[in-house]
Every structure is written in C-alpha cells, then in structure tokens.
Chains A and B, each alone.
Chain A
C-alpha cells in the first residue's frame, strides 16, 4: 500500500486511525483500531464490513463529525497533505462540504423536512463559494440537472417529502457535489433504496465521479456493490482493517479468513442455476473463525397434490379520503387480482420492489389486513368466511415472522413469556408442560432453554429473529409467512437464519410464503417464485424457470439490476435512467385492466404486457 502511495500522492491518507467512545462506565473503548488506508486520485475505495465493524465510525472520524465530548480520534488523517485532526473546528467547517462531502444511508431522513430542497443545496454554495443568492439558485438548478432530476427548475422549491427515496438521494448527491469536493464519502448510499433505483444511483455516482474527477470512499455491507464499483477494498472486522487490497484480488484470493467467509456467505444471484432444490449457505461463525459448513442440498419434497394454501383473485385496496366530507377520492390498489397456490412443505417467494404489494399480500392471506375480495382457502377452508373464534383457530395454522426483530418483540416481556404467549392463548398446553414446550422450541431454533428468563435487549438481531421464529413455531403452524425475515440481518447472520428456516422446513414439513426484495436470497430458498409489480403478479413459476428463463420485462429488469459479487462480471455501463417506481394509487372508479397469462413452460406463467413496457421482450 505504501508503495502505491509514493507513486501517486493520495487524496486521502489515513494512518493508524483509532476512534474511541466513552461508554456508560465512563471509560473510553476503542471502536476503530489502528486502521490505515489511502484513497488515490479518481479512485474508488470500498470500506466493507458488517454492522459494528466500525466502517461508519471511520467515515465520521474522517469528517470529524463525532461529538467531541464523548469520542476520541487518534492517528493521522491527511487530506491532500493537510492533517485534518490538527485543524481547529472553524477550519474543519471550511473543509466539510467543500473538500470532503458526504452522503448518507437514509435519504428519507437526511434532508431537512421543513426546507425546500433547492435552498438546502444553495446553502452549501453560499457557505463555501460566497455566491450571491441568485447565482446559487442558478447553480443549484444546474446541479439538479447534473444528477438527472427531471424538471429541475420546478423542483427547486419542492420539499423533501414530495420526492421518492431515489430522488432524495440524488438531491443529497447534488448537495455533496456542489463545491466539487476532492473526496466523496458515501456511507451506504444505496442500502435503503430499491434494487432498480440502487442500480441507477450507483451508475450516477460513477458517471459523476468521471465527470468531476473526484475520489470516492464507499462504505457498504453489500459485496455485490463492492464488486460493482470499487477499485480497491478495505475489509473491516470488529474495528480492524483485516485486509486491504485490489478488489479483484480480495474476491479471487481473499487472504484473511474473515474475507473468505464473508464472501462465501453472500448469496450470489445465478449461483443456483441447475440446482433443483433450495440449498443451505456456508456459514461463518464469528466465534470459531475457521468453521465452515459445507453446503448441502435440501431434500424437502413438496409431494402432496392438495395445495395447503390456495389464493384466488385476491384484491386488497385502501381508500384515500379527502375533502370536507372525507369522501373517497382515490384508492391504493395494493393487491390486485392475485392468485397462487402453496403446496405443503413448499416455499413460494413473493418478490418485488417497495409498494408492489408483497407485504399486503402476506397480511391479506392471514387477514391481518382485510382483503377487498377474493378467495383464500387454507386446507380447503375458505378463510374469508371465518370470523371471531374460528378465525383465531385458523390462525394457528399460519404464523408470521417480520422484518425488524427489534420492533417485533415486546421489550418488557421475557423471551420465555413471548414464546409461551401463543401456547397459553390457544390453550395448547397447561402448567409445567408450557415450560417444556418453550424450552423445546428455543432449542429447535438454536438457542438454549436457559435464555427463556432473559429480555429481548440482551440479544443480537440474529438471535432475536430466532426468538421470533420460535414464537411462530409455537402453534405448530403449517404455513409461515416470512415478511422480509432476513432483510435486516448482516450477511453471515442472514445465512444462519436462512439455513435455520431451511432446516425447519425439512424437519417439520413447513410451507413458507417468503416475502423479499432480495433476488439472491429468493433464488436460494424458493421452490417457486412470484414476481409482483404494482399489486399484480407479473410472472410466477418454478424458481429455475423464473430465474433462468425470465419472460416479463419487469422480471428481467429486476434481475439485471442486482449487483453481482464478482468484479470480473462488472457490468458494462448502464444507461443513466431516472425513471421511478410507479405508484399504485388510482382514482375512484378505476377499473384494472383484465390480465391474461401465458404458460411458458409447465407451471411457469407470465402476464401478457402492453405498450408501457415497449418492445422490451
């Protein structure tokens, strides 16, 4: 690395950076330990690691954005030869937003909600470039055009809440680029975005980097994104930079065991080609660094002829009311005429981007959300006909797991009580048997029975998701609706929980309705896949058919947008699109188009599409 630094003097030079935080005991604890790396001119360096690895803290240390009262930054951070750690705060303010700019993960919350986006950008120009208001206004419009925001001129006075996440991230980028910084720090800038929007945003950052000749420090947990954009990569693990090197080298010959396992636990889209059944992922145990499990194919056999769950013409709409008399002025067509079957022991995945209706479908099936119309048959019984006691009894058969394991457990209830609650409500067991059952369930999800007396905050995200799974299993359900159940988890934890779900499917013969936006995860766990777009299923079929022979233009677009964790397959430059995900809000009286499906191969159906997709086929 030092050899490289001598040839072209780096834009950013970080040497022996250590950052400590004052913890509750009043002492300082090192979060980032002795990290060294550099970023050359026009170079993109990725900081990659899981949550808690210290990658964001490293970025905030470089920007000196950590509160001085309870943090300490040591070592050396040089920007074009200037030691940033020695600068007084006033001088540092002149560096921020000017020579180093930063964009953040959450476009929804990173813009001030009460100020128009234009003035938030113009503010940077008046601050650092001493521009007049009118000059800053004109330059802001130029910047909005530069980040390909349509109708930039009229967007100046728009407030952030009127823009989608992707558009907001463009505004953030425009703001960051306003003063042509030498270095852009991008902290998980695409993590919160949908996959097609992520692809657009990555392409935009790359294009702007070429135009302005800036360097980028890109922080991410997504190995696919790393492979897509980074020249060099720094792998971080527990606050240390365990491996620094060219991205190809790290992907092809990872030296550190952590890099190796990190790479192998990533589900890669396309890696399941030719594999008939869902497959476990190799798992990395942080405690035993070299323990790798060999992946083995699952032998779960969806054999029976009778579908466990049969959904026909399911439609769920939400009224939008407005005006003096709160009349219905429009409807969200969240789920529109959706039909599918799930066989016992089978996994059907619903995949699509935000707002496509996949979660509403999951909730409608369990009648947590009341469907507008349709038929839902669970083992032959029409759920739509049930009410009260019968409905509750039916729910024993269908349980849910949600995305956020932090929000879906009551912080004031012990783990044991949380798992016991459904058992007691449905009077499945009494007295001492309840305790035995809870212990058995906790053992099943890989936690000991001794955790029953502890509270959720004592557990990590992955462990909490295991607790949620134990709670879902308490009623011996036949079907589990897993709504983004692994999306919030780190790569290695995600692999463990996915494996657990696969194991449980095999031993208990569970069926899953697996709702996810992550194509690679879906490819790994599913028997069959349904692709949703604007409330409708546009393509459904066996996993291999949908992934290996996608028919609908939207399925193709979705698959193409997934970054592949392989630098050799780094895509040709994508066209810089700025189209947005369309909204399922319709005026009252809107009649959805009558859809026709074509059978491509046995069980593989695709919706016939119209003009709006052009001749994309």
Chain B
C-alpha cells in the first residue's frame, strides 16, 4: 500500500511537468503582460525596461527553465497585480475559501444523492423514481451560473433567508455550496440508482434474502457498499469539475476563493498567479483521485494496491 502511494506520487511528476509547460506557453502566446500593466500610452523605453526587468526578452525556453529552477526552490514568482507579493502566498490566502466551498458542495451532493438514489432504485419505475430522475436530469442540465442567480433571486433577494453574496456570514456558504454541488448531486443520484439496481440483481443479495434479512438491512449492509465503488468513481472523476465549477460559482456569488482570483489574474495577465493556481489545482485534483483510489480498497477488499 505504501509502495502504491509512493508510486502514484512519483507518477504525478511528469504530469505536473506537462501542466507547467502547457500553462507557461499558452500564457505567453496569448498576449503581452507588459502592455497590459503599463497601459496603451506607455513609452517604448518604459516597455523595454519592464520587459528586461521581468526577463521577458529572453527566449521562451530559457524563461521556462528559469521558471522551473525557481519552482524547485519553492519560488512561484511574484504577482504583478498584488504589489509584487509572492504568487504562492496570494493563492494560498484564497485557498481556504475555495476549499470550504468545494467541501460544502460535495457534502450537499452526497446528502442529496444518497437518499435520492436509494429511493429511486427501490421504487424503480414508480412515482418516487420518476421524481428523483427528473430532478437529476434537471440538475445536470442547468448551468451553474443560472442556477446560482435563481437561488440568489429566490432565497436571498425575495425570501431573505441567506446572504446575497460574499463569505462573511455563517450562512453565506449555503447558496454557493448548493449551486456548486447540484450538478454532482444529480450525477451521483443517477449513478447510485443504476449501480444499486445492478447490485440488487446479484446472487449475494438473493442469499441475503434467503437468510431472512429485512429489506432495509439488505440495502444498508449488503447492497450499498457494493454500489459504492461506482459512486466513488464518479466523485473522483468529478473532482476536476468541482474545481472548474468553483470558478463560475465564485464569480456569481463574489466568493473570495481562487476561482475568483483566477479570473482576475487572467484578465490582468498576472502570469505568476495564474500558473500557481493551475499547478495547485492539478495537484488537488490528482490528490483527490489518489484518495478515491485508496478508498476503493477500503470499500472493496478484493481491490488491493501494491
């Protein structure tokens, strides 16, 4: 198991190299940060001086190698926008907000999908199933930004139950969390329904029934854990969607996380910050996948890593 985790962490290195390379090149071919920083009416000498100071006059591969050398010492570069603060510090300051938003989204997704999926599977082709299935299709079809705006309109503006935006009140996280988690909840509900339906056809469920166990014991003890594998798979796959969703959701709710920061940084060509966000996000997504893979072997003793 330890070997497996080490192996998986080693595998992350080439992926991260690829990520830095792609981000680095894309950012540099998509526009000139110096022009953006100095404005349209800057003098050519000014531009040249700043370019020299930032090392932007060197060939691209040299810039990349210098950047990588700095990365290895923990230097992610300095933000152009936030008074030259270290980019890593700028991003890390915003990370807890996004983490709590994503955790809330995941929590909502699980809390909604677990009962909905079970009910849909047990009452297959009946009213409860149709209701749960309709809602899950709706949940997947609705874009995040639209759902967010609707939730604000109904629950914050009209009913006044929750804050409209920001993150300063305890209940602030509810609406953005719900917005972020809705798509995942929908997908998880459908996945749990179909895998439970499949599990309930298995021979060992027939054995459990032949033992005289009640329906609820059969579901909780015998069926759910077997169905959990595909459920976990979806969570692992959707970890990146959660990160991507955070960008939109934070924008809608003015949530001060790295999603909002990313948009601001891209708009102002704050390259160091964008690169840091992308690298950190990929580390987070890969870690989520690793955790899910480890959970597999906890849920199903047949899966052994090593």
Given A104-B203, A322-B306, A323-B306, are A113 and B300 also a contact pair (CB < 8 Å)?
yes
Q: Which residue of B lies closest to A121 (CB)?
A: B211
Q: Which residue of A lies closest to B207 (CB)?
A: A110
- The answer to whether B222 touches A97 (Cβ under 8 A) is no
Given A104-B207, A109-B203, A110-B204, are A115 and B213 also a contact pair (CB < 8 Å)?
no
- The answer to whether B203 touches A106 (Cβ under 8 A) is yes
Q: Inside 8 A of A97's CB, which chain B residues have their CB? A: 210-213
Q: How far is the CA of A454 from the CA of B210 in the complex (A)?
A: 40
The reply to whether the CB of B221 lies closer than 8 angstroms to some CB of chain A is yes
Q: Inside 8 A of A96's CB, which chain B residues have their CB? A: 209-212
The reply to whether the CB of A391 lies closer than 8 angstroms to some CB of chain B is no
- The answer to whether A159 touches B302 (Cβ under 8 A) is yes
- The interface bits of chain B over 206-242 (1 if a CB of A lies within 8 angstroms of the residue's CB, else 0) are 1111111110010001100110000000000000000
Q: How far is the CA of A590 from the CA of B148 in the complex (A)?
A: 65
The reply to whether the CB of A294 lies closer than 8 angstroms to some CB of chain B is no
Q: Inside 8 A of B202's CB, which chain A residues have their CB? A: 109
Q: How far is the CA of A98 from the CA of B301 in the complex (A)?
A: 29
- The interface bits of chain A over 54-83 (1 if a CB of B lies within 8 angstroms of the residue's CB, else 0) are 000000000101000000000000000000
Given A109-B204, A110-B203, A323-B306, are A115 and B212 also a contact pair (CB < 8 Å)?
no
* Chain B proximity of A325: nearest CB distance (Å): 9
- The interface bits of chain A over 95-109 (1 if a CB of B lies within 8 angstroms of the residue's CB, else 0) are 111100110101001
Q: How far is the CA of A95 from the CA of B211 in the complex (A)?
A: 9
Q: Inside 8 A of B210's CB, which chain A residues have their CB? A: 63, 65, 96-97, 101-102, 104
- The answer to whether B300 touches A123 (Cβ under 8 A) is no
Q: Inside 8 A of A102's CB, which chain B residues have their CB? A: 210
The reply to whether the CB of A175 lies closer than 8 angstroms to some CB of chain B is yes
Q: How many residues of B contact A (CB 8 A)?
A: 25
- The answer to whether B221 touches A127 (Cβ under 8 A) is no
Given A109-B203, A114-B226, are A127 and B306 also a contact pair (CB < 8 Å)?
no
Give the size range of A's interface with the partner: 20 to 34
- The answer to whether A93 touches B212 (Cβ under 8 A) is yes
Q: Inside 8 A of B206's CB, which chain A residues have their CB? A: 65, 104, 110
The reply to whether the CB of A128 lies closer than 8 angstroms to some CB of chain B is yes
Contact residues of A between 391 and 425, Cβ < 8 Å to B: none
* Chain B proximity of A143: nearest CB distance (Å): 13
- The answer to whether A98 touches B212 (Cβ under 8 A) is yes
| Among A94, A95, A110, residue most surrounded by chain B Cβ atoms (within 10 Å) | A110
- The answer to whether B306 touches A114 (Cβ under 8 A) is no
* Chain B proximity of A550: nearest CB distance (Å): 37
The reply to whether the CB of A111 lies closer than 8 angstroms to some CB of chain B is yes
* Chain B proximity of A543: nearest CB distance (Å): 38
Q: How far is the CA of A159 from the CA of B7 in the complex (A)?
A: 26
Q: Inside 8 A of B302's CB, which chain A residues have their CB? A: 113, 159, 161
- The answer to whether A172 touches B3 (Cβ under 8 A) is no
The reply to whether the CB of A3 lies closer than 8 angstroms to some CB of chain B is no
The reply to whether the CB of A313 lies closer than 8 angstroms to some CB of chain B is no
Q: How far is the CA of A109 from the CA of B301 in the complex (A)?
A: 15
5 chain-A/chain-B pairs, Cβ below 8 angstroms:
A63-B210, A96-B209, A112-B208, A175-B211, A324-B3
Shortest beta-carbon contacts, A-B, top 7:
A97-B211, A96-B212, A97-B212, A109-B203, A159-B301, A112-B204, A102-B210
Which B residues have a C-beta under 8 Å from some C-beta of A?
3, 6-7, 202-204, 206-214, 217, 221-222, 225-226, 299-302, 306
Further 12 A-B residue pairs, CB within 8 A, beyond A111-B207, A113-B301? A95-B212, A96-B209, A96-B212, A112-B222, A114-B226, A114-B300, A123-B213, A123-B221, A124-B211, A161-B302, A175-B207, A324-B7
Which A residues have a C-beta under 8 Å from some C-beta of B?
63, 65, 93-98, 101-102, 104, 106, 109-115, 123-124, 127-128, 159, 161, 172, 175, 322-324
